[in-house]
Structure 1
């Protein structure tokens, strides 16, 4: 018998005990940093948990994390449809997530993916000696939040949330009155720090500003947590080369995927 229901706090805590950031980084952030803002849904087959979908409404799109436990018994199409209905989404809604090779194959077999997946890697900082030192980078003050948000929006930083700018330290390099480069954090916690929103204005590229911003953010992050991560599109080879030069190491390869939550017949 297949059943679905929302997971309670204790069930999520048990999941968190078994999820490691370098094995399933996205889901780890949901059961740790995003735990209070996320909703967790489980599918049970004969009372055994087969998979979990976690959802947050704190990003500019319907954002999910998937965690598979029993791939043989999991009925993914029914599970996704249940979650769509419980969240009161219309049938045409498209969610976004990051999947392993195995999970991507599962979503594709269920005919849920709606476009070509994009290769995505997560890196962890390993070598402090490779970071740059210098005074090019300045912290962004509260009076500059609005201007910084506009700069990031113009740069099409799809994973930027203004809440991050208000909660975490952001830094910039300026050319005159204009931002040349900006960077900040997606997570800023004693458990884990994730660099993000790092962008250089195209007309100022090639001056080493990305290295300077990333080094500053990593120094700041390492003062708060020993675990400093960042993620980047695999095709962005220039950025990956820079990050490796600064002491980052690839720890996981994944796929960014959009998937349909279209309705199927639902088993309760």
Structure 2
């Protein structure tokens, strides 16, 4: 018997304790730092929890995270049907998530992908010795929130949400009172830190601003926790080299996908 329901608080707490954070960082973030705004739809087979879809509606697109213990136990079409009915999303809507290799094969087998997947590396900081000692950037103050939001959106930072400026520290570099580089965090607390939205205007690249910003943000993260992460597209080789130079190493290789609930 296959059934679906919203997860109870007790079940969410159990998942938080048992999940491998590094291999399931997106889903872990839903369980912890995004918990208040996320819904968790669980699939049960003969009373056993086999899969979970976490759902957030406050992104510019329907954002999901997916977790399962064994892909061979998952009835994915049934889970998608229930999720579509629960959320009220049209079957043509394009959703987004990040999947590991086996989960990607599962979604592909059911023809859910709408675009080719993008390789994505989750990197963890492991060595402080090569971080730069720099203080070129300044913390973004409230009166600049609108300007830095526009700067990051124009730079294609589609995973940036303006409320992150309230929850997390952001830093930027200005020239003639205009932002030329900025960056901050997706998450910033003692459970883990994830750098994100690091962007340099194309006219100012080659000056080392990205390396400087990443160093300064990493130093800031170290003040809270030893679990410091960032994500980068697998095709962005210059950025990967830069992060490795600063003491980051790949913790997990996953895929960003666009998919439908149909």
TM-score bucket of the superposed structures, by smaller chain: over 0.9
**SS of the residue 1:157 aligns to:** coil
Aligned to 2:150: 150
2:96 equivalent to 1:96: yes
Q: For the Cα contact (< 8 Å) 1:131–1:215, is it kept in 2? A: yes
Distance 1:182 1:135 in 2: 13
Question: What's the offset of the Cα at 1:76?
Answer: 0.1
User: What is the aligned partner in structure 1 of residue 112 from structure 2?
Assistant: 112
Q: What's the CA shift for 1:177?
A: 1.8
Taking the aligned partners of 1:134 and 1:112, their CA distance within structure 2 comes to: 46
Hey, what's the Cα distance between the residues in 2 that align with 1:176 and 1:127?
Answer: 35
Q: Taking structure 1 as the reference length, what is the TM-score of the superposition? A: 0.95
Residue in structure 1 matched with residue 17 of structure 2 by the alignment: 17
Alignment of 1:166-205 (within 5 A): 166-205=166-205
Q: Residue 129 of structure 2 corresponds to which residue in structure 1?
A: 129
**Is the Cα–Cα contact under 8 Å of residues 145 and 166 in structure 1 kept in the other structure?**
no
Tell me by how many angstroms 1:188 deviates.
0.6
Please give the residue correspondences for 1:182-261 in structure 2 after superposition, counting only pairs within 5 Å: 182-261=182-261
Residues 187-246 of structure 1 deviation map (CA, whole Å, 9 limit, x = unaligned): 011110100000000000000000110011001111122211000101011111111111
User: 2 CA distance for matches of 1:186 and 1:9?
Assistant: 24
Q: Across the two proteins, how many residue pairs are aligned to each other?
A: 262
TM-score by length of 2: 0.98
Q: CA separation in 1, counterparts of 2:63 and 2:182? A: 24
Do structure 1's residue 69 and structure 2's residue 98 form an aligned pair? no
Which whole-Å CA distance do the structure 1 matches of 2:192 and 2:6 have between them?
Answer: 26
Superposed CA deviations along residues 107-148 of structure 1, whole A, max 9, x for unmatched, are 000111111000000001111111101221111111100000
Inter-partner Cα distance in structure 2 for 1:115 and 1:130: 38
Q: Is 1:49–1:70's contact at 8 Å kept on the other side of the alignment?
A: no
What does residue 85 of structure 1 align with?
85
Q: Secondary structure at the match of 1:185?
A: strand
Question: Given that residues 113 and 258 in structure 2 are in contact (C-alpha distance below 8 angstroms), is that contact kept between their aligned partners in structure 1?
Answer: yes
Q: CA deviation at 1:88?
A: 1.1
Flag structure 2 segments of 5+ consecutive residues without an equivalent: none
What RMSD in Å do the two structures reach over aligned CA positions? 1.0
Which 4+ stretches in 1 moved above 2 angstroms? 69-73
